[in-house]
Amino acid sequence: NPVPLVRVNKQPRTALVKQEHVDDVPVASKNPKGDAAASADKTATHGCPVSMVTGEELLTLTDGELDGFLPFAWTRLYRTSAVEIDCGLGFGWSHGVAHCLSVSGESVVWTDHENRSTVFPLPTVSRPAISNSLAEAAIYLGASPDELVLAQASRFYHFRDGLLVSISDAYDNRLRISRDVLGRIQRLDNGVGRALLLRYDRDHIVAVDYQVFRAEGDREFVWVTEQNVVSYRYDDAWRLIEATNAVGESERYRYDDQQVIQERELAGGASFFWAWERSGKAARCVRHWASFSQMDTRYAWDDNG
């Protein structure tokens, strides 16, 4: 079982140690429909992929990467149960820095990059670290009075006032997050002169650029865009309908009127299709097929999924 993890300051670098006493409050993470949900990579799936637990689509795509001591993959996930939620990539989609914390009374709700919600007790000085063995995560007080830290899968997510401010690992390699005047995430900086820049149209991400910090001519060091990593296009309802990678290859998406995905068209021309029972965030896949004959699967669900 996971245990709360804390850092201790030792030279020459920070070390990771286990606390002897485990304060464990096991509560399952849930998807936006309220079903218990493990992370996408630990969920039994089939096909493109469809969850064999909830019947929802869990389409996970990596569009690029920020290199460095703490590599970060720019990944997005489409989750059928999240069709009423827009994190800046259109309804149903989330991305790797779409984390937030909400504190209510003595409880904390962590909404992660997969649109799953996990409840923790609010840490205090007398109870500084709390594990959640079902969610395989822990929460604890940070280095400053207004900081809370979530630990999961060898990553530490640092929050202030409910907003993600950095991501670190056991050796304190750190990705720092800066925001613009509107509070939108603007740059993910690895601390050694490399970053991902997010560009927006209002509240929606339209591009992610790879940047380096260097001198330009006689000017001081500035962030310079080396290449576009990915671009996104939306319809009038702010649904993500196209993603174009660094070499200009595009894939497209089509939805019903409740944002439930119906078709994914790859850059090479192949398409994947879904048919659903129920509607909206309660939709469960009953057929998943492709434009080529090798793929055509049907699913039947009981009341337990």
| pLDDT tens string 249-292 | 999 999 999 999 999 999 999 999 999 999 999 999 999 999 98
Rounded alpha-carbon distances, angstroms, from residue 288 to 52, 191, 256: 13, 43, 15
- pLDDT (mean) for 73-100: 98
What pLDDT shows up at residue 39? 96
**What is the per-residue pLDDT for 3?**
42
Residues 6 or more apart whose CB falls under 8 angstroms from that of 296 comprise 287, 288, 289, 290
User: Of the candidates 236, 233, 181, 190, which has an alpha carbon nearest to the alpha carbon of residue 210?
Assistant: 190
Residue 21 placed within a domain: yes
Q: Has residue 134 been placed in a domain?
A: yes
Cα–Cα dist 181/202, whole Å: 12
Q: At residue 10, does pLDDT exceed 80?
A: no
Q: Flag whether 305 is in a domain.
A: no
Q: What is the mean pLDDT of residues 189-214?
A: 97
The model carries a pTM of 0.90
Confirm whether 304 is domain-assigned: no
Residue 29 neighbours by CB distance under 10 Å: 23
Q: Is a pLDDT exceeding 60 seen at residue 9? A: no
- State the CB neighbour count (10 A cutoff) for residue 170: 16
In a domain, 197, yes or no: yes
pLDDT at 2: 43
Domain-embedded: residue 74? yes
The pLDDT > 70 percentage for the chain reads: 93
In a domain, 94, yes or no: yes
Domain count, the chain: 1
What range does the domain containing 29 cover?
5-298
Residue 171 lies in a domain: yes
